Chain A
Amino acid sequence: MEFDLSKIPITLFIFSLIVGLFSPIMTWVERKQSALMQDRIGANRAEILGIRAIGLLHPVADVIKMITKEDTFPLGGSKFLHNIAPMIAAIPALISFAVIPYGGHYQAWGADWTLVVADLDYGVLYLLAIGSIAAYGSIIAGWAANNNWGLLGSIRVSAQMISYEVCMGISVVGLFMVFGTLKMTDMGIAQQETFRVLGFVEHLGWAQAGTAWVDFVKLPMWGIFLQPLGFFMFMTALIAENKRPPFDVPEGESELVAGYFIEYSGMKFGLFFMAEWIEVVVIAGLMTAMFLGGWSVPYIPDATLVEFFRGGVGVNMANVFAMIIHVLIFFTKVISMIFFLQLIRWSLPRFRYDQVMDLGWKILLPLSIANVAVTGLIMLLVKEVTG
């Protein structure tokens, strides 16, 4: 078995970024963005030596408070299941970022760097598989609580998550057809190319080949442009899998008090929330890698970017510069996506449970099956026309 030493810094970087930065800062984003949207001030009380730093110390205070809270346990519940449920919920959320590439492939000083923890051939399948394990955490948590609210929450969460898993699985099939791969780095590379939006005009004989205005209108081959319907359906399904508003019926506080994690306190309760917030980051990363072009600069393939720097600073530093730019672009997209997800979360009211299930089975599922059929038809027609 060979050891690729470059994987150590790559793994440590993304892990510390998610656990140390994104996960705590999401609690701050949740409060501050809702405050902004509702015209409030939001969290600003936590302070160290008089420094309040616009509420950025609240995540620290939260963790200290939750760790030092009493860990209660409901009588008649299952102690073992009660203890492993938060772990089953949190660990899959943490490790699912492993297959999402946050940069391309670089060569500097004789070493190869691929900025992804595990560049698996079946990357997307890994994410779907790990994502469905997280459902067990919620189901077990409600089941082990010996509590009516908890059990209602866990039954709801099981039905909701398996419903949306079907839609989630079928809505990305169109994307796999277009890119012809399940490997996330290959998807990122495929999205660096561009296509002519008006190319069909030439092939139908309405304009001569090589017409300037036809060549001018180009779009990068991002998933969102190739699969617009797939993008929205996949995002909807992911938000539903994440159990956040407007799909938070399993934990709706006005219906079920807290749903499946009702009997948890302290950091065990915190782990469920940590899992939820990390899942938001994973969703944003996944959407970025699959639909929003990943790490690459739009219209500029990786090789061209490296070539651009090469003349001035040499090939090694050119790779480093390209790496820095790509990582920054990737996380800019991720943060924009998180902002968008938070906008949805604070804009829409909670759906009723029957509406959630209807959306999944009666709207998203037929639409995603139709999406597969239409995508295949368009791909075949494009082939027929272009030859």
Chain B
Amino acid sequence: MAEYWGLGLFTLLGTAVVTLFMVLTTWLGPKLVFPEKQEPFECGERQVVSPYQRFNVKFYMVAISFIIFDVEVVFLYPWAVVFNDFIGNGAGWYAYISMMVFLFVLSVGLAYEWMKGGLDWN
């Protein structure tokens, strides 16, 4: 637990500095509000369409791919940390081949997504 209290102090300090900046900028600045100033910036034009509309499905594809591959990262980390111990115990090839099978399946998934055009931006 001794480590966490340094971390807590650091987090507290960081939060305090950021909060101080936020409070200061809210208090100190001039306040002159009129409708034209409050309009969302659109290079001088009035806003024609609301931004809250449908957006390109490509971004959704990226998010789905991210979930798949990020879970893979989670599986890789424990294996990577103990890989040296496996080699030391003489089980290196066993550990290596098991993970390579997993990585191969994932690479096939990546290749499939690539061929189907899931990674293209045209």
A273 to chain B, nearest CB (A): 12
Contact B41 A177 (CB under 8 A): no
- Enumerate chain B residues within 8 angstroms of A274, measured Cβ to Cβ: 21
> Which chain B residue shows the least CB distance to A121?
B3
Instruction: Name the segment of A43-51, A160-168, A209-217 touching the other chain.
Output: A160-168
**A77-103 interface mask toward B, CB cutoff 8 Å, 1 = contact, 0 = none?**
100000100110011001101100000
Do the beta carbons of B62 and A163 come within 8 Å of each other?
yes
Chain B hits for A86, CB < 8 A = 18, 22
Are A380's CB and B96's CB within 8 A? yes
Task: Pick the contact of A70: B4, B30, B114 (CB < 8 A).
Answer: B30
Residues on B with C-beta less than 8 A from A4 are 2, 5-6
- Report the separation of the CA atoms of residues A8 and B59 in the bound assembly, to the nearest whole angstrom: 44
Tell me the bound Cα distance from A69 to B9 in angstroms: 31
With A and B bound together, what is the CA distance between A262 and B51 in angstroms? 14
Which B residues lie within 8 Å of A178 (CB)?
Answer: 84
CB proximity to A under 8 Å, residues B20-64: 21-22, 24-26, 28-32, 35, 37-43, 47, 49-52, 55-56, 58-59, 62-63
CB contact between B29 and one of A12, A70, A98 (< 8 Å): that residue:
A70
Those of A166-195 within 8 Å (CB) of chain B: 166, 169-170, 173-174, 176-178, 180-182
Residues of B within 8 A of A97 (CB): 10
Contact of B18 among A90, A119, A372 (CB under 8 A): A90
Q: Is the interface of B mostly helix, strand, loop or mixed?
A: helix
Q: Do residues A3 and B5 form an inter-chain contact, with CB atoms below 8 A?
A: yes
Q: Are B6 and A7 in contact (CB under 8 A)?
A: yes
- Quick one: which of A100-151 are within 8 Å of B by CB? 117-120, 125, 145-151
Decide: A365 and B69 in contact? CB cutoff 8 A.
yes
Q: How many residues of A are in contact with the other chain, CB < 8 A?
A: 87
Q: List 23 A-B contacts (CB under 8 A).
A: A3-B2, A11-B6, A68-B28, A75-B40, A86-B18, A91-B14, A94-B17, A94-B18, A95-B14, A148-B49, A155-B55, A162-B70, A163-B66, A165-B70, A166-B70, A173-B80, A176-B80, A257-B41, A257-B43, A274-B21, A357-B121, A372-B80, A380-B92
On A, residues with C-beta under 8 Å from B are 1-4, 7-8, 10-12, 14-15, 19, 66-77, 83, 86-87, 90-91, 94-95, 97-98, 117-120, 125, 145-151, 155, 158-159, 162-163, 165-166, 169-170, 173-174, 176-178, 180-182, 257, 262-263, 266-268, 270-271, 274, 353-354, 357-358, 361-362, 365-366, 369, 372-373, 376-377, 379-380, 383
Residues of B within 8 A of A (CB): 1-7, 9-11, 13-15, 17-19, 21-22, 24-26, 28-32, 35, 37-43, 47, 49-52, 55-56, 58-59, 62-63, 65-66, 69-70, 72-73, 76-77, 80-85, 87, 92-93, 96, 99-100, 103, 106-107, 110, 114, 119-122
* Additional A-B contact list (16), CB under 8 Å, known A11-B13, A182-B77: A8-B9, A10-B6, A75-B39, A75-B40, A94-B14, A145-B51, A146-B52, A147-B40, A147-B42, A158-B59, A159-B58, A180-B85, A357-B119, A372-B99, A376-B99, A379-B84
